[in-house]
């Protein structure tokens, strides 16, 4: 059974500093996603990573994927208050029967001035 | 281009009752998946529908059932509600035949509270 683990569970950040969220998964997957969720809201897709060595960047966020280590990281550069949210990674396995996402437990990020 | 829509946005029920949640997929999508997100946790896969059939199912009891209509919209039904069914229910849509290029798009969710 596929297991997805994120750490840390909670991250208190200072504005202007850099931080990394880690996502480990237990079996080979087809795609890895990073989502952002604000309190009481739905999931906002940040990145989709398809292959080993994939790196994607958007603003202060950069995601990378190492399929051999079954590890993805979400790096936050020079944190700002607007990045306060919960971040989820999710692993997708595509089968003939369909595709489903298995989520990590989330990392709650709080950026303090 | 309308994204994924869900109704209702909020719902309050009592234990033992039944509830139906609705989802319309993003235009052009033919597959609908349902997820349950309990407070403080990541979403958990309930099931996925394509061509009006359940194609995959997560570890949820038979009290959770669904349906997909010819226009690709979907319903999630939960019978004999328990307090533990209180959660945010998310619908996601995708395109089954081009899975390597399309991501899953999530709707705004329905927040269910069981008292």
> What's the number of domains chain A is made of?
1
Where in the sequence is the domain holding B44, given as residue range(s)? 5-98
**Does B105 map to a domain?**
no
Task: Yes or no: say if A76 and A59 are a contact pair by the CB < 8 Å rule.
Answer: no
* Cα angle, residue B71 at apex, residues B67 and B72 outer, rounded to 5°: 50
A43, B41: Cβ pair inside 8 Å? Answer: no
pLDDT over threshold 90, residue A87: yes
**Does B67 map to a domain?**
yes
What's the confidence (pLDDT) of residue A36?
A: 97
How large a percentage of chain A has pLDDT more than 70?
100
Where in the sequence is the domain holding A98, given as residue range(s)? 4-112
User: 3-class DSSP state for residue B100?
Assistant: coil
pLDDT over threshold 80, residue A97: no
**Closest-CA residue to B28 (of B109, B91, B112, B97):** B97
Average pLDDT over residues A16-38: 94
Residue A15 belongs to a domain with what CATH number? 2.60.40.10
Q: What DSSP character marks residue B59?
A: S
CA A80/CA A102 separation, integer angstroms: 29
| Contacting residues of A for B96, CB less than 8 Å apart | 98
Per-residue pLDDT of chain B (115 residues; tens, 9 = 90+): 679 999 999 999 999 999 999 999 999 899 999 999 999 999 999 999 999 999 999 999 999 999 999 999 999 999 999 999 999 999 999 887 665 656 788 999 999 999 9
> What's the number of domains chain B is made of?
1
* Cβ contacts from A onto B, under 8 A: 66
B105, A45: Cβ pair inside 8 Å? Answer: yes
For chain A, the average pLDDT equals: 93
Substitution target from A21, A36, A92, A101 for chain B, most B beta carbons within 10 A: A101
Substitution target from A98, A105, A107, A108 for chain B, most B beta carbons within 10 A: A98
| Model confidence band, residue A112 (pLDDT cutoffs 50, 70, 90) | very high
Beta strand pairing call for B10-13 and B110-114: parallel
**Closest-CA residue to B112 (of B16, B20, B40, B3):** B20
B113 Cα to chain A: minimum distance (Å): 13
What's the confidence (pLDDT) of residue B101?
A: 59
Closest Cα in chain A to B91: A42
* Per-position DSSP letters for A14-81, written without gaps between them: ETT--EEEEEEESS--SEEEEEEE-TT--EEEEEEE-STT-EEEETTEEEEEETTTTEEEEEE-S--G
Residue B47 belongs to a domain with what CATH number? 2.60.40.10
A63-74, pLDDT tens digit by residue?
A: 999 999 999 999
CA B69/CA B75 separation, integer angstroms: 8
User: Cα-flanking dihedrals φ and ψ of residue A83, to 5°?
Assistant: -85, -5
B106, A88: Cβ pair inside 8 Å? Answer: no
Segments in chain B forming alpha helices (H): none
A39-78, pLDDT tens digit by residue?
A: 989 999 999 998 888 899 999 999 999 999 999 999 999 9
């Amino acid at each position: 059974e596929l297991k997805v683990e994120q750490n840390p569970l909670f991250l208190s950040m200072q504005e202007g500093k850099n931080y990394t969220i880690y996502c480990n998964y237990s079996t080979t997957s087809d795609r890895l996603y990073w989502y952002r969720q604000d309190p009481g809201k739905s999931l906002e897709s940040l990145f989709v990573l398809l292959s080993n060595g994939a790196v994607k960047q958007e603003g202060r966020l950069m995601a990378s994927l190492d399929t051999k280590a079954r590890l993805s990281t979400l790096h936050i550069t020079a944190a700002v208050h607007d990045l306060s949210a919960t971040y989820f990674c999710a692993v997708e396995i595509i089968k003939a029967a369909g595709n489903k996402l298995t989520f990590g437990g989330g990392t709650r990020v709080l950026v303090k001035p | 281009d309308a994204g994924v829509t869900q109704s209702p946005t909020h719902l309050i029920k009592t234990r033992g009752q039944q509830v139906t949640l609705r989802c319309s997929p993003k235009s052009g999508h033919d597959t609908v998946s349902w997820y349950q997100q309990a407070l403080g946790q990541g979403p958990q896969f309930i099931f996925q529908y394509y061509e009006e059939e359940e194609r995959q199912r997560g570890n949820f009891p038979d009290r959770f059932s669904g349906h997909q209509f010819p226009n690709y919209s979907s319903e999630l039904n939960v019978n004999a509600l328990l307090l533990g069914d209180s959660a945010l229910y998310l619908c996601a849509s995708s395109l089954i035949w081009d899975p390597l290029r399309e991501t899953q798009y999530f709707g705004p969710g329905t927040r269910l509270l069981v008292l």
